[in-house]
Structures are given as structure tokens and as C-alpha cells.
Structure 1
Amino acid sequence: MEILEVEFELQVVNKELAFFNCNKKVSGVIHATESGKPTVVLDGCYLLGNFHCTHCAIKAIGLLAAKITDCESAGFGSYRSYKLDYSEKIFQAIH
């Protein structure tokens, strides 16, 4: 069993929408539908997924942030740099 510690900031906008930032590495929006099944959209319009409950959504965000930290520690570079490089390539391909 491994214990992971993450810093999680949550700003509630209304009963359906909240902004989050996890470990200053992953940020986005949690949208809670009337059915109670939240959807998580990461910055850059990446869909992390639809979840059974809010607890499951927050757990998935935390695990993603932990994996990003592990990859950065292993020397693979930062996720933010990857996103910028990817976005530039997509932008060039469109134009």
C-alpha cells in the first residue's frame, strides 16, 4: 500500500460547477450533473472522464497528478511543457 499526498484546491462556482487545481500540475472543471455523476474536464478541453460520484472524480484527479509528478521525477519533462508543445503542433497542423 502506498500513501500519496496531494494538494487539492477547489473553488465552488455553484451547485453544478467547481474549478480545481491539484498539485499545481492539473487543473480544470468538475461538472456535477443532476444525475449525480460528475464529469471532469482538464484545462485544454481534455475530458478526464465521467465518474460514479464526486469522490471517485477527485480520486482520479489526485492519481493523475501523482503520476505526472512521478514522470517528471523520472526525467520525462513537465506536463505543462508537453501540453504547450502539443498545442503548438496542433496549431501548426491546422494553419
Structure 2
Amino acid sequence: MNTDTLTGSATNIGGQVKEGLGSALGDTSMQAEGKGDQLSGTAQKTLGEAKDAVRPMIDSARQFVQDRPFAAAALGGVLGLALINTLRGK
């Protein structure tokens, strides 16, 4: 769990509280702000979860490059050529 996940959860909860207060007080602008905060918090939490999911793949790739530098260079070259050919339409 990283700071984006925690901050997103906190923002989401704060938005729920703000929306509830706005509803209780009849303040539609506070309700709207609460819904906006919830949306923002959910997006930030999702970003944090995505970072947590991608981190092991990045670490694995980093380890591959350190263990096999020549194979990594060859793989990078092949991928580069494939990308260039794809962009050129071949």
C-alpha cells in the first residue's frame, strides 16, 4: 500500500462526510463538493492500486537487466526495430 492509496481513501471518506453534512443541512453545493471529493479520492486510490500492481513487474524487469545485460540489450534492439517498422507501416 502506498501513499496514493491511503490519501485516496481518506479523501473519499472526507467526501462522504461532506456530502452527508450537505444533505443534512440542505446545502447542495456542499453535497456537490462531497461527491467531487469522493470521485477524486476514488481516482487517486485506483492510481495507487495500479502502482502497487505494476511495481513487481518493474522490479522483475530491473533484475533481468542486471542479471543478463546482453540479452536485455538484444531484446531492446529487437523491440526497437519492431516499433520502428510498425510506425513506418511495414
Both structures adopt the same fold (TM-score exceeding 0.5): no
In which range does the TM-score fall when normalised by the shorter chain?
A: 0.3 to 0.5
TM-score by structure 2 length? 0.33
Q: Comparing both structures, which one devotes a greater share of its residues to strand?
A: 1
Q: Larger Cα Rg: Structure 1 or Structure 2?
A: 2
Q: Per chain length, whose mean CA-contact separation is higher, i.e. which structure has more relative contact order (CA < 8 Å, sep 6+)? A: 2
TM-score by structure 1 length? 0.32
